[in-house]
């Protein structure tokens, strides 16, 4: 299959390309779609066969449910039932945006999309191209991140092409994703709201909106052998480049000394801006300044993928403090590192 590369420079002039993508989706095909968080691998969320193909193409285990993407608030009541007040408040406050809500599903959603769960993940993305596509298709679009399972999520169309060219019908290319880490997932189907995955909407923002939200503590440590995460997807190795990732924590001087002492000739350092010259004899790549959590989030996955294109065996990484969007960045980096952290 030849993957069509549909470049959107102007949402009005390039509308025929969005219509083409919508037609492909309605024909049961898979299309890479831009969102403000990461690129998604979209299919008609009401078509069980098309949604099933997402799992095959990504190599995704079938017990890992998909997010459905909507383009208008009214649709929430079509696909979800028993929607609690807290969900309405969060939806009003943060949609369209980088937030996914877990709610009880209606029977319109095929089993394969929710991996047989009684709940469904829903998101109303804040990307003009994604919204236009969903509006034209007039169906909810089921979409996980458009990477091969286990790899860093794609934040540019070229990442989708590198992972999936030849296996999907098209990619809608609208440039780099603004947020760069996946949406915050909040389970509002039970009595208390729980954050299953940190993302672009921070725990503090959620607390300000609805009073309280529990952050799943398992997000920042390795899972025990018999432990089940709240979001099924969080149990899988994820966000990992081919190179081994090691987080090095400590004062910048100590980190520098530790990294410079490591003999690996093919090592790289994923560092903060301004630190590039601290490291001798190693490839350095800055992904943002230490406290600019938004820019660290925007660049993290692209940086991991860039290093993966080179012949690098180990990536020593600086990890931000777990504050604001830094919480999401730290969570992704810990997963990419398989929780391998050196304290110096
Ligand atoms: O920003 C995002 O959320 C991106 C863009 C494309 O929207 N999508 C994304 O999807 O990150 P994915 O499939 O890579 O991650 C979805 C996560 C998985 O960890 C999955 O297990 C969890 O959401 N999930 C989906 N349905 C769920 C449910 N009913 N209950 C608990 N977790 C659920
Ligand atoms: Mg994913």
Atom 21 in ligand 1: residue holding the nearest Cα: 233
- 211 token code pair: 């009073």
Fold classified for 4-220: DHBP synthase (3.90.870)
Q: Which atom of ligand 1 is nearest to the CA of 234?
A: 19
pLDDT above 80 for 260: yes
Rounded CA separation 161/6 (Å): 12
State the pLDDT at residue 173.
98
Domain with CATH 3.90.870.10 in the chain: 4-220
Q: Quote the percentage of the chain above a pLDDT of 70.
A: 99
Pairing of strands 31-33, 170-173: parallel
Q: Own/partner pairs for 218-227, CB < 8 Å, 24+ apart? A: 219/331, 220/322, 220/330, 220/331, 220/334, 221/339, 222/338, 222/339
pLDDT at residue 289, rounded to an integer: 97
Name the average pLDDT for the chain. 95
Q: What backbone torsions phi and psi does residue 205 show, to the nearest 5 degrees?
A: -65, -40
- Would residue 211 be called left, alpha or beta, if left means φ above 0 and alpha means ψ between -120 and 50 degrees? left
pLDDT score at 220: 82
Q: How confident is the model at residue 229 (pLDDT cuts 50, 70, 90)?
A: confident
In this predicted structure, what is the pLDDT of residue 185?
Answer: 98
Question: What's the angle, vertex CA 107, arms to CA 33 and CA 153, rounded to 5?
Answer: 25
HSE, side-chain direction, 13 A CA sphere, residue 76: 20
CA of 196 to the centre of ligand 1 (A): 10
- In this predicted structure, which of 109-113, 184-188, 239-243, 338-342 has the lowest mean pLDDT? 239-243
Q: What is the mean pLDDT of residues 209-238?
A: 81
Q: How confident is the model at residue 239 (pLDDT cuts 50, 70, 90)?
A: confident
- Ligand 1 shell residues, CB under 6 Å: 35, 37-38, 40, 64-67, 100, 102, 114, 117, 119-121, 123, 143-145, 182-183, 185, 196, 231-234
Domain with CATH 3.40.50.11030 in the chain: 244-343
Grade residue 331 by pLDDT with cuts at 50, 70 and 90: very high
pLDDT tens profile 142-199: 999 999 999 999 999 999 999 999 999 999 999 999 999 999 999 999 989 999 999 9
pLDDT computed for residue 219 by the predictor? 82
Which pLDDT score, from 0 to 100, does residue 116 have?
96
User: How many whole angstroms separate alpha carbon 98 and alpha carbon 76?
Assistant: 16
Query: For 59-82, how does the pLDDT look when each residue is reduced to its tens digit (9 = 90+)?
Result: 999 999 999 999 999 999 999 999
Q: Is the pLDDT of residue 240 over 90?
A: no
Residues 6 or more apart whose Cβ sits within 8 Å of residue 23: none
Kind of pairing, strands 170-173 and 4-7?
Answer: parallel
Per CATH, the number for 244-343 is 3.40.50.11030
Greater model confidence, 222 or 88: 88
Q: What is the pLDDT of residue 216?
A: 81
């Amino acid at each position: 299959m030849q993957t069509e590369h549909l470049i959107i420079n102007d949402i009005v002039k390039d509308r025929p390309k969005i219509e083409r993508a919508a037609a492909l989706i309605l024909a049961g095909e898979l299309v890479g779609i831009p969102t403000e968080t990461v690129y998604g691998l979209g299919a008609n969320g009401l078509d069980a066969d098309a949604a099933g193909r997402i799992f095959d193409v990504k190599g995704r285990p079938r017990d890992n449910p998909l997010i459905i993407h909507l383009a208008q608030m009214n649709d929430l009541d079509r696909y979800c039932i028993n929607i609690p007040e807290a969900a309405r408040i969060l939806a009003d406050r943060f949609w369209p945006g980088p937030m996914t809500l877990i709610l009880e599903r209606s029977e319109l959603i095929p089993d394969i999309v929710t991996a047989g769960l009684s709940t469904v993940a829903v998101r109303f993305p804040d990307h003009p191209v994604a919204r236009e596509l969903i509006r034209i298709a007039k169906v909810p679009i089921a979409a996980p991140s458009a990477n091969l399972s286990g790899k860093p999520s794609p934040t540019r169309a070229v990442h989708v092409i590198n992972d999936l060219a030849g296996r999907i019908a098209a990619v809608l290319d609208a440039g780099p994703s603004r947020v760069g880490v996946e949406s915050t997932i909040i389970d509002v189907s039970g009595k208390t709201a729980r954050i299953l995955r940190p993302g672009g909407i921070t725990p503090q923002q959620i607390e300000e909106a609805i009073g309280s939200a529990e952050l799943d503590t398992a997000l920042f440590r390795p899972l025990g052998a018999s432990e089940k995460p709240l979001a099924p997807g969080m149990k899988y190795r994820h966000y990992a480049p081919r190179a081994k990732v090691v987080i090095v924590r400590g004062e910048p001087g100590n980190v520098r000394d530790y990294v410079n002492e490591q003999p690996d000739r093919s090592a790289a350092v994923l560092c903060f801006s301004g630190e590039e010259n601290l490291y001798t004899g190693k490839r350095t790549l800055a992904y943002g300044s230490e406290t600019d959590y938004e820019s660290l989030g925007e660049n993290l996955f692209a940086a991991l993928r860039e290093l993966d294109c080179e012949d690098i065996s180990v990536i020593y990484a600086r990890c931000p403090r777990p504050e604001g969007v830094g919480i999401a960045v730290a969570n992704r980096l810990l997963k990419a590192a398989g929780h391998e952290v050196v304290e110096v």
